[in-house]
Amino acid sequence: MSLPAIALVGLGGAAGSIARYLLAGWTLATAAPQKFPLGTFAVNVAGCLAAGLLAGLAERHPGWLSPDLRLLLFTGLLGGFTTFSAFGLETAHLLRRGEWLVAAGYAGGSLALGIAAVWIGLRVAGPP
């Protein structure tokens, strides 16, 4: 990992985090109050759409995205915006390759173990 690569990821990550904050805030400000976490939901769906569009364009136009631009956009911008987009893209790639069982294990395991890990963290660090 070179310093320029780290800088690209950091720059993209900062922009993605700001975009996440703005979109989630705008979504919550314009929607009627509700129990559903609409801001995070909108960010996750928008991030997956952006990841799919960028990956599709990169497949259709090889060479369009340089390795540096990939770092900036995928790892940095979309990673700062939402890592759910990486999860969605990786799962879609597994499905496109016909690896249904691996995709199901990845998706199910990520969801179940992710929620379990948060629950454990809350129990360990939370009030007695």
* Length of the chain counted residue by residue: 128
52 is annotated as contributing to ligand binding: no
Q: Tell me the H-state helices in 31-99.
A: 38-60, 67-70, 79-81, 84-96
CA distances from 21 to 15, 29, 82, 121 (A): 10, 12, 11, 24
Instruction: Tell me: is residue 82 an annotated ligand-binding position.
Output: yes
Angle (CA) 106 118 122, round 5° = 170
Binding site feature residues for Na(+) = 79, 82
Binding site feature residues = 79, 82
